[in-house]
C-alpha cells in the first residue's frame, strides 16, 4: 500500500566497508589546467601533449581516450573557454575576448588565423573564469 509505513524495527544485517576516497577532478578543469600550464611554459598544447601531461599531473584520474579529450576540447571551445590555432589550444582570457570584440584601428582586419604572425600579448596575470564571469568583467 502506498503511504503505509512499516513499524520501526531492527535490521538483520548491515555490513559497512570503508573505502578510500579519492580526489575528483572534472575533465574540463583538468584540461584547462593542463593547457594553461603547457602554454605558460612555452610548450604547444596539442592533443598529444595535453594527453601526456594529463597522465603525469592527474595520476588519480583514469586516462580518457583521445576521442573523449577531443570532444571535451570541442565543448570548451563552444563555451568560449579555450580557442585553437595552428600552434595548439589556448585559454580564453578577458584580454583576448576584448581584443576580438573591439578590434583596434590599425589591425581591424586581423582574425584568429593571424595568431602565427601576431602572437597574443603576454598578460601580467592570467585567470580562469566562467564565460559569465569573463563577460561581466568586460563590461
Nearest to 76 by CA among 127, 130, 138, 37: 130
Query: For residue 13, what pLDDT is reported?
Result: 79
Query: For residue 100, what pLDDT is reported?
Result: 61
Residue with cell 502506498: 2
d(CA 49, CA 106): 35
**pTM of the complete model:** 0.56
Query: For residue 107, what pLDDT is reported?
Result: 42
d(CA 121, CA 11): 66
Query: For residue 96, what pLDDT is reported?
Result: 67
d(CA 16, CA 47): 42
Evaluate whether 5 touches 50 at the Cβ level (below 8 Å).
Answer: no
Q: Which cell is 34 given? A: 593542463
Domains of the chain: residue spans and CATH: 27-97+127-138 (1.10.10.10)
Instruction: Give the pLDDT of the chain (139 residues) as one tens digit per residue.
Output: 556 666 677 777 778 877 666 667 899 999 999 999 999 999 999 999 999 999 999 887 788 999 999 999 999 999 999 999 999 999 998 776 666 655 544 444 444 444 444 555 554 555 666 666 666 766 5
Residue with cell 602554454: 39
Amino acid at each position: 500500500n502506498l503511504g503505509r509505513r512499516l513499524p520501526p524495527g531492527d535490521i538483520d544485517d548491515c555490513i559497512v566497508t570503508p573505502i578510500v576516497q579519492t580526489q575528483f577532478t572534472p575533465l574540463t578543469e583538468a584540461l584547462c589546467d593542463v593547457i594553461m600550464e603547457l602554454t605558460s611554459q612555452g610548450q604547444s598544447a596539442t592533443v598529444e601533449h595535453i594527453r601526456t601531461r594529463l597522465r603525469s599531473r592527474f595520476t588519480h584520474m583514469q586516462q580518457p581516450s583521445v576521442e573523449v579529450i577531443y570532444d571535451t576540447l570541442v565543448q570548451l571551445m563552444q563555451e568560449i573557454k579555450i580557442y585553437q590555432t595552428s600552434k595548439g589550444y589556448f585559454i580564453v582570457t578577458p584580454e583576448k575576448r576584448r581584443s576580438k570584440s573591439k578590434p583596434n584601428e590599425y589591425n581591424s582586419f586581423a582574425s584568429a588565423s593571424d595568431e602565427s604572425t601576431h602572437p597574443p600579448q603576454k598578460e601580467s596575470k592570467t585567470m580562469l573564469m566562467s564565460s559569465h564571469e569573463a563577460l561581466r568583467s568586460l563590461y
